[in-house]
């Protein structure tokens, strides 16, 4: 089957920036041509006039909750939310129930994703058994089953020697570590950012140094072992500075942040709004500005969502007792495009952060070239829309952005040459 996407502005940073036709044959890109230059007959034509056509967006950090907490999200519902948000691929974290710490669970996740037939799913397996921070898992088996990286996300690996061995062991199998950086002794039971808002509300605060110290440790271990490390959900100005300095001296460190860290501050907690409770917590305005600067200068490599579904009843409790996290797959692009509309990033920069750089970190090439898998996102960057959680494909509704007016959204998503979402 041959598909033609015509009249679109194709934006593949570093390769293509202009009006092109894209031809897809049997799931792969057949040709990218000047408009009207290729005269083959198409079985299906997608008119992209007024739209940008980009390499598929990739989210390096989501929680799909299956197996074990299917009332929050399933692999199928999470993938449906992903393609609605313009994502053609997601990396799912291992803190399921049971934990994805063995090849059997990794294989099962891959199979369930294939059954769903929506976004591609790349499992991230656990560094240690049960996320316990002690016993390293069988990395060769995990990679063989489909694991693309290793992380104890949700829990830090507190023991430095264990993390050193994990980096060395992962390197032997061409895997890399995604580190949840958090010194729990400094968190000390805190539930939001340490500062004036926490003081006003009488809530325990989490200082920036609880993240920053672990970021420095992981950088040091990566430098010592020569391994690759990726820092998850960066939220503080000190972490950005440390990563910037590490990159300048050649350490193999990459990093992500999430839309809530460059959009909101601790003030969003308001009067104990649990929809603004997450880990790491929303920080100060100075931190938010540092995150944006880190995206601008390349210190932060990508934007991930840390999509963390929770049932309403779990969030409708006192702030101290509420679980951390918000969903993000269906709001990420709209929130991130605000950086473009406000002049902080070019659209090409944003595509690098949401598509090209995640692919590079994962060891993939998603250039729009003949022969490549046809994973594409079509977006209308001028479309105005209201965030309506009740209409989400995700099974959960825990977002602080309900009712927000955003500009720009995905209007079609193509995975392996199949149109899996269209407005």
The answer to whether the beta carbons of residues 351 and 55 sit under 8 Å apart is: yes
Residue 415 β-bridge partners: 418
pTM of the model: 0.97
What is the distance in angstroms between the CA of the first residue and the CA of the last residue of the chain?
A: 22
Q: Which of 59, 287, 301, 306 is catalytic?
A: 306
164 annotated binding-site participant: no
Residue 410 β-bridge partners: 379
Report the mean per-residue pLDDT for the chain.
97
95 annotated binding-site participant: yes
Task: Please say if the pLDDT value at position 37 is more than 90.
Answer: no
Task: Please say if the pLDDT value at position 143 is more than 80.
Answer: yes
The two tokens of residue 341 are 């509309």
- Rounded CA-CA distance 369/359 in Å is 15
Q: What is the mean pLDDT of residues 282-289?
A: 98
DSSP state for residue 53 in the 8-state scheme: E
Q: What is the mean pLDDT of residues 60-71?
A: 98
Q: What is the pLDDT of residue 40?
A: 79
341-391 per-position pLDDT tens digit: 999 999 999 999 999 999 999 999 999 999 999 999 999 999 999 999 999
The two tokens of residue 13 are 């940073």
Q: What is the pLDDT of residue 159?
A: 98
Q: What is the pLDDT of residue 125?
A: 98
Q: What is the pLDDT of residue 207?
A: 98
- The per-residue DSSP string of 89-107 comes to EEEE-S-SSS-S-SHHHHH
Q: What is the mean pLDDT of residues 110-120?
A: 98
Task: Please say if the pLDDT value at position 201 is more than 90.
Answer: yes
Q: Going by C-beta distance under 8 Å and a sequence separation of 6 or more, which residues neighbour residue 198?
A: 190, 192, 204, 205, 266
Task: Please say if the pLDDT value at position 304 is more than 80.
Answer: yes
The two tokens of residue 301 are 């490599």
- Return the CATH superfamily for domain 57-362: Metal-dependent hydrolases (3.20.20.140)
- Rounded CA-CA distance 46/42 in Å is 10
306 annotated binding-site participant: yes
137 annotated binding-site participant: no
Cis peptide bond upstream of 280, omega within 30: yes
180 annotated binding-site participant: yes
The long-range contacts involving 285-291, CB below 8 angstroms and separated by at least 24 positions, are: 286/237, 287/208, 287/235, 287/236, 287/237, 287/261, 288/261, 288/262, 288/263, 288/264, 289/237, 290/236, 290/237, 290/240, 290/241, 291/234, 291/235, 291/237, 291/240, 291/257, 291/261, 291/262
7 annotated binding-site participant: no
Cis peptide bond upstream of 67, omega within 30: yes
186 annotated binding-site participant: no
306 catalytic? Reply is yes
- Rounded CA-CA distance 399/382 in Å is 23
Task: Please say if the pLDDT value at position 39 is more than 80.
Answer: no
Q: What is the mean pLDDT of residues 282-309?
A: 98
CATH tag, 2-52+371-422 = 2.30.40.10
212-263 per-position pLDDT tens digit: 999 999 999 999 999 999 999 999 999 999 999 999 999 999 999 999 999 9
- The model's confidence at residue 318, banded by pLDDT at 50, 70 and 90, is very high
Q: What is the pLDDT of residue 38?
A: 76
Task: Please say if the pLDDT value at position 36 is more than 90.
Answer: no
Question: To which H or E segment does residue 422 belong?
Answer: strand 418-422
Task: Please say if the pLDDT value at position 111 is more than 80.
Answer: yes
Spell out the domain ranges in the chain.
2-52+371-422, 57-362
- The per-residue DSSP string of 364-420 comes to ------TTSB--EEEEEEEEEEE--GGG-SSS----TTTT-EEEEEEEEEEETTEEE
């Amino acid at each position: 089957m041959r598909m033609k996407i015509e009249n679109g502005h194709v934006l593949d940073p570093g390769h293509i920036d202009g009006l092109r036709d894209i031809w897809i044959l049997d799931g792969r890109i057949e040709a990218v041509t000047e408009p009207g230059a290729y005269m083959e007959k198409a079985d299906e034509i997608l008119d992209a006039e007024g739209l940008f056509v980009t390499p598929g967006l990739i989210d390096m950090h989501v929680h799909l909750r299956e197996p074990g907490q299917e009332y929050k999200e399933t692999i199928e519902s999470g993938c449906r939310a992903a393609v609605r948000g313009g994502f053609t691929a997601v990396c799912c974290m291992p803190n399921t129930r049971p934990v994805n710490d063995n090849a059997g669970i990794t294989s099962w996740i891959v199979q369930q994703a294939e059954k769903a037939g929506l976004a591609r799913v790349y499992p991230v397996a656990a560094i240690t058994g049960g996320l316990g921070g002690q016993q390293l898992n069988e990395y060769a088996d995990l990679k063989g089953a489909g694991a693309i990286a290793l992380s104890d996300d949700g829990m830090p690996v507190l023991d430095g020697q264990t993390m050193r061995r994990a980096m060395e062991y992962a390197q032997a199998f061409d895997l890399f570590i995604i580190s949840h950086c958090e010194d729990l002794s400094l968190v000390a039971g805190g539930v939001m950012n340490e500062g004036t808002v926490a003081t006003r509300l009488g809530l325990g605060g989490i200082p920036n140094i609880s993240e920053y110290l672990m970021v420095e440790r992981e950088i040091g271990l990566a430098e010592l072992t020569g391994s690759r490390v990726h820092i998850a959900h960066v939220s503080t100005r000190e972490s950005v500075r440390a990563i910037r300095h590490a990159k300048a001296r050649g350490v193999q460190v990459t990093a992500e942040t999430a839309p809530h860290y460059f959009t909101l501050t601790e003030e969003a907690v308001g009067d104990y709004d649990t929809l603004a409770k997450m880990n790491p917590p929303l920080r100060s305005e100075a931190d938010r500005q540092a995150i944006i600067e880190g995206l601008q200068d390349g210190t932060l490599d990508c934007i991930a969502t840390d999509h963390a579904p929770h049932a309403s009843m779990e969030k409708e409790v006192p702030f101290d007792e509420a679980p951390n996290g918000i969903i993000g797959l269906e709001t990420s692009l709209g929130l991130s495009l605000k950086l473009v509309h406000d002049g902080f990033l070019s659209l090409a920069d944003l595509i690098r952060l949401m598509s090209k750089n995640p692919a590079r970190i994962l060891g993939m090439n998603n250039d729009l070239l003949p022969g490549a898998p046809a994973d594409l996102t079509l977006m209308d960057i001028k479309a105005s829309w209201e965030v309506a959680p009740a209409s989400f494909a995700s099974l959960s509704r825990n977002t602080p952005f309900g009712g927000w007016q955003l500009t720009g959204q995905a209007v079609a998503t193509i995975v392996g040459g199949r149109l899996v979402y269209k407005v």
